[in-house]
Amino acid sequence: MRKNIVAGNWKMNNTLQEGIVLARELQKTLEEKTLKCEVVICVPFIHLASVVAEVKTVIVGAENLADKSSGAYTGEVSAAMIASTGAKYVIVGHSERRTYYGETNAVLKEKVLLALANGLIPIFCVGEVLAEREANKQKDVVSTQISESLFDLPTEDFRKIVLAYEPVWAIGTGKTATSEQAQEIHAFIRKTIAERYGSAVADSISILYGGSCNAGNAGELFAKPDVDGGLIGGASLSVDKFLPIVEAF
Ligand code: PGA
């Protein structure tokens, strides 16, 4: 059985002090609940160690990692450094990294290898931009992103990955994909994985939906058979908005 996961992505928000307050509040709220999913918060590098110390019910992840293992790469943060904070997950290939920082499928392949080599679970993001959706190219885009970055992995490594389908036109825009649109691409992703690794592996991989997921639409999205949770940006920045998404399972 694959895992249901609701993962927050704080992006470049919250000072260290604000982040600690939010993590503490989330821990206090969630520890009293019976959860039907794993809850993850992906936070800026400088928050990692402090947030790990605040939470037990919630698992912590980073938002990015370097594509090199160590050395003279000023300003970069390695997979080993992230793992040393107690973080367990790392987002790889978020569309904001692809678009604003030029991260290619080839660079992301290196990042995935380094994450896995250091015991981190990659949350690997894929998704088309609006022009690609309008040209009906979303399936080609997503399958190329997955195959170029992930399909050289041996089965035992591929099985560890979590995927997130995030149509770029839905991120931070308030325009959510309909649950049918999400299900269609999630099922396509699972089929693409099955063709490469077999259906047992495809069925074991969690595929999250991201892009303006909120309290109002999470229940309908998560009810779809191939949607195993969400990657949540804006709505992960307050417990009031995040909790109903976590409880949508
Ligand atoms: P959003 O972001 O929920 O604010 O649309 C999702 C994401 O970018 O992971």
pLDDT, tens digit (0-9, with 9 covering 90-100), for 197-231: 999 999 999 999 999 999 999 999 999 999 999 99
> For all residues of the chain together, what is the average pLDDT?
97
Q: ∠ CA 71-152-59 to the nearest 5 degrees?
A: 65
C-alpha of residue 229 to centroid of ligand 1, in Å: 13
Looking at the predicted structure, is the pLDDT value of residue 30 above 90? yes
C-alpha of residue 11 to centroid of ligand 1, in Å: 9
Rg of the chain taking only CA atoms, in angstroms: 17
C-alpha of residue 172 to centroid of ligand 1, in Å: 5
Q: Which atom of ligand 1 is nearest to the CA of 234?
A: 4
Structure tokens at 192: 């693409």
| Residue 221 near ligand 1, beta carbon < 6 Å | no
The mean pLDDT value for 92-106 works out to 98
| Residue 54 near ligand 1, beta carbon < 6 Å | no
- At 176, is the pLDDT very low, low, confident or very high (cuts 50, 70, 90)? confident
- At 39, is the pLDDT very low, low, confident or very high (cuts 50, 70, 90)? very high
At 106-160, the pLDDT tens digits run 999 999 999 999 999 999 999 999 999 999 999 999 999 999 999 999 999 999 9
Q: Which atom of ligand 1 is nearest to the CA of 211?
A: 5
At 53-67, the pLDDT tens digits run 999 999 999 999 999
As a whole number of Å, the end-to-end CA separation of the chain is 15
Domains, the chain, ordered by start = 5-246 (3.20.20.70)
Burial of 180 (0-12, 13-18, 19+ CB in 10 A): exposed
In this prediction, residue 179 carries a pLDDT of 96
Dist CA 116 CA 124 (whole Å): 12
Measuring from atom 6 of ligand 1, which residue has the nearest CA?
Answer: 233
Helix (H, G, I), strand (E, B) or coil at 232: strand
Exactly one of 54, 94, 128, 186 is catalytic; which is it? 94
Looking at the predicted structure, is the pLDDT value of residue 175 above 90? no
Helix (H, G, I), strand (E, B) or coil at 58: coil
Dist CA 225 CA 222 (whole Å): 8
pTM (whole model) above 0.85: yes
Helix (H, G, I), strand (E, B) or coil at 60: strand
